[in-house]
Chains A and B, each alone.
Chain A
Amino acid sequence: MGIRALGWLAVLALIGGLGTAFGYAPREVVQGNVQRIMYLHVPAVLTAYLAFGLVFLGSVGYLLTRRPGWDRLAMAAAEPGVIFTGITIASGSIWGKPTWGTWWTWDARLTSTAVLFLVYVGYLMLRGMIDEPDRRARAAAVVGILGAANIPIVHFSVKWWRALHQPATILGPEPSPIAAPILLTLLVNWIAFTLLLLYLLAKRTEIARLEDMHAG
């Protein structure tokens, strides 16, 4: 499948996701319609986990093989990973104001997510600071591998520490307590975000390949 076709598929999936979030999912009984932010917030963080998992994979692949393709994969996944984490933090903060009464609190989940965001912003800054390709790729790979250790910390922070943030209701050990229409809407949006990630990844990898070609 071409990159353009993947892009259109992602657009259609996002439209479907918006349709389910605003047209199919019911109004949540306790929170009201503000809960619809969760159809953005939850898929965004799950997609960020996937992106940073790909950074880890690309980093390990590069250190083992020294093939530039692995480094390109890591770099191309880090950028959308940072963007999806930023969307997670922003949407969570916007949801928090009417629900918790505050834009931000130093809760374990929020703080560890902010650290995750900053680690990968640092990863991208590091890449920008080193010109020599192999040195840049090696240094970035080390950060990409160490940074991935923060993903389980973010996910399990609500179990390990007393947190204001609710515990995991999907990807948890027990069956999800979420009502079927809400779960289905989350799933549709998660698929849409994953397709968008794959599109952005393909596009960014192609750009990196062209840049390497131009650099000689």
Chain B
Amino acid sequence: MPDNWSYVFAAYGVAAVVLLAYWRRLAVRAKNLAARRPRRSV
């Protein structure tokens, strides 16, 4: 059977993009939250 390296790289590439995008989304949210002050009840 041929090696089909393009499929191998596509599978790992998709996984890397998805995981990096999720990690980046979490990092941005954490950074934004850290910059905000907690709401104080008056």
Which residue of chain A has the shortest Cβ distance to B22 in the bound complex?
A83
Question: Are A203 and B7 neighbours in the complex by a CB distance under 8 Å?
Answer: no
**Chain A positions 179-193 with a Cβ under 8 Å from a chain B Cβ:** none
Q: In the complex, what distance in Å separates the CA atom of A196 from the CA atom of B22?
A: 12
Which residue of chain B has the shortest Cβ distance to A91 in the bound complex?
B11
Q: In the complex, what distance in Å separates the CA atom of A86 from the CA atom of B1?
A: 27
Interface hit among A36-44, A51-59, A162-170: A36-44
Q: Which of chain A's residues have a CB closer than 8 A to the CB of B3?
A: 27, 32-34
Question: Are B7 and A211 neighbours in the complex by a CB distance under 8 Å?
Answer: no
Q: Which of chain A's residues have a CB closer than 8 A to the CB of B14?
A: 87, 90-91, 94
Q: Report if A206-B30 is in contact (Cβ < 8 Å); known contacts: A34-B7, A80-B22, A90-B11.
A: yes
Interface residues on B, range: 20 to 34
Q: Report if A32-B4 is in contact (Cβ < 8 Å); known contacts: A37-B11, A214-B39, A216-B39.
A: yes
Q: Is A64 part of the binding interface, using a Cβ–Cβ cutoff of 8 Å?
A: no
Report A36 CB to chain B, min CB distance, Å: 5
Q: Report if A203-B19 is in contact (Cβ < 8 Å); known contacts: A95-B7, A214-B39.
A: no
Q: Which of chain B's residues have a CB closer than 8 A to the CB of A5?
A: none
Q: Which of chain A's residues have a CB closer than 8 A to the CB of B11?
A: 37, 40-41, 90-91, 94-95
Q: In the complex, what distance in Å separates the CA atom of A33 from the CA atom of B12?
A: 13
Report B11 CB to chain A, min CB distance, Å: 4
Q: Is A133 part of the binding interface, using a Cβ–Cβ cutoff of 8 Å?
A: no
Q: Which of B19, B30, B33, B38 contacts A83 (CB 8 A)?
A: B19
Q: In the complex, what distance in Å separates the CA atom of A30 from the CA atom of B3?
A: 10
Question: Are B34 and A210 neighbours in the complex by a CB distance under 8 Å?
Answer: yes
Which residue of chain A has the shortest Cβ distance to B13 in the bound complex?
A94
Q: Is A108 part of the binding interface, using a Cβ–Cβ cutoff of 8 Å?
A: no
Please give me the 5 A-B residue pairs with the lowest Cβ-Cβ distance, nearest first. A33-B3, A34-B4, A91-B11, A94-B11, A98-B4
A residues within 8 Å of B by Cβ? 18, 27, 30-34, 36-37, 40-41, 44, 79-80, 83, 86-87, 90-91, 94-95, 97-98, 196, 200, 203-204, 206-207, 210-211, 213-216
